Amino acid sequence: MNNLPRSIETFVEATNRGDSEAFAAAFTQDALIVDWGRRFRGRDGVRAWNETDNIGVQAHFDVIDWTPADTGEAWVVTLRVSGNGYNGTGPMTFELRDGLIAELRIE
């Protein structure tokens, strides 16, 4: 995962080892996750999404590709997801602020 921002690496690595505390710490206090229209706000929202859609369903991520988005501190990362929830490959868009994930969009 060379050249990916550290917070996105942490997002992937913490998920894969089932470390919910490290996962939540990769996000800003006021983070927003938008997952196919469902919205989760703040670290409590991050923890809730993590429990229902990520580590709570034993998700595992394999990074396929990544590219900086057109503006700001945004990255589009293509992940292959497996586990007991969603399984498939698709992009996630990360907006960073101060080295942490401020917004994650899955659409």
- Which amino acid appears at position 39 of this protein? R
Question: Domain 6-106 adopts which CATH fold?
Answer: Nuclear Transport Factor 2; Chain: A, (3.10.450)
- Kindly provide the residue ranges of all beta strands, DSSP E only, lying in 4-98, ordered along the sequence: 27-35, 38-41, 60-68, 74-82, 88-97
Q: What does pTM read for this prediction?
A: 0.95
**pLDDT per residue over 22-65, tens digit each?**
999 999 999 999 999 999 999 999 999 999 999 999 999 999 99
92 phi and psi angles, rounded to 5 deg:
-125, 135
d(CA 38, CA 26): 20
Distance of CA 99 to the CA centre of its chain: 14
Structure tokens at 15: 């998920």
